Amino acid sequence: MPGKPTIKLVALSQYSCHCMLALLILEFDFPASGLGKLASSMPLPVVPGAGADPCQAQYQLFFLALISMRKLLNRILFHLYSRDHIENPANVEPTQADEPAAFLSVSPSVMFELDRQLEEWRTCLPQGLEFLPYSEAQLAEVPEFNQTRSTDERLRGHLMARYFAAKSIIHRPYIYKTLHHGATASLSDADTAGARTAVGSAVMSVVASGILHEPLVLLLHPINSCRSLFACELQLSFVLHSSYHYLLPQNWKIAEVARTAASGLIEDMSPTAFRDSEILKLLAC
């Protein structure tokens, strides 16, 4: 672009770089780095004078909400699943995150606090980007997928998808506990409710992501949508192979519709997504 770049253009470029970096980290499963920890301590970027243009102000608020969610997700993953955080108190050595004890020992109070912070993020969303909490959204009618969404609806839908995905991640230990509890042990009402929330939120994330509304290449963050679909299908597969079918929400088959709609395109766009689809095929055998 000729001429000196404006402050607004530089800020928008920074937002784009931030989103692209998040996609690359997600795409190639890069490990957490010092940059991620530094990002959690940095203040949110604000464009001077963006409020003069309602459209630009809305875009800025969307990106600020998205960055805040990314910081919250980093916190969720660290406190629930990080190998650096989960340690064996006997020998003070990191515990493998895939060991049963690591998931079964997650404190309910930690999950409660992270969920509280997630709801606080949702309630702070500005007018035009706000949406219902999971407890109310799951009772709402599923939207028509053949209707074109406006820009505001797409922005709100993406934030909703991130919210539901985060809620599913927070409650995922309940699914693990449900599937691995002993034959003589009984599940509490809280365990059952938590497992249902994890599966239901994963399905709601797929519904809100837009993967059933727009072509995959036109989604705001297609890799995010693909991997959220994969996470949802993994949970559904494990539950379907168990005796706990009562954990499934009524609209769980929407995930199958989403996979059919994106089939072929996902594999062409991303080697990681192709690997995900191969894993799902193995689980279906």
The answer, yes or no, to whether residue 111 has pLDDT greater than 80, is yes
Q: Report whether 39 contacts 21 (CB < 8 A).
A: no
| pLDDT for res 39 | 61
Q: Report whether 153 contacts 210 (CB < 8 A).
A: no
Q: What is the mean pLDDT of the chain?
A: 79
Q: Report whether 116 contacts 72 (CB < 8 A).
A: no
- Residue 242's nearest CA partner among 190, 184, 195 is 195
- Residue 72's nearest CA partner among 125, 24, 30 is 125
Q: Answer with the residue of higher pLDDT: 130 or 187.
A: 130
User: Considering only 11-25, 30-44, 86-100, 178-192, which range has the smallest mean pLDDT?
Assistant: 86-100
Four-residue CA torsion sign, 270, 168, 246, 178: positive
pTM of the model: 0.81
Cα separation, 46 vs 226, whole angstroms: 30
Per-residue tokens: 87: 């340690």
Angle, CA 147 vertex, CA 218 and CA 270 arms, to 5°: 25
pLDDT, one tens digit per residue, over 229-278 is 999 999 999 999 998 999 999 999 999 998 888 877 777 777 877 888 88
Please tell me which of 55-64, 87-96, 174-183, 238-247 the model is most confident about, judged by mean pLDDT. 238-247
- Residue 105's nearest CA partner among 127, 131, 85, 133 is 85
Cα separation, 10 vs 36, whole angstroms: 22
Q: Which helix (H) or strand (E) holds 88?
A: strand 87-88
| pLDDT for res 95 | 46
| pLDDT for res 91 | 47
Mean pLDDT of the 208-228 span: 85
pLDDT, one tens digit per residue, over 146-193 is 677 888 889 999 999 999 999 999 999 999 888 887 654 678 899 999
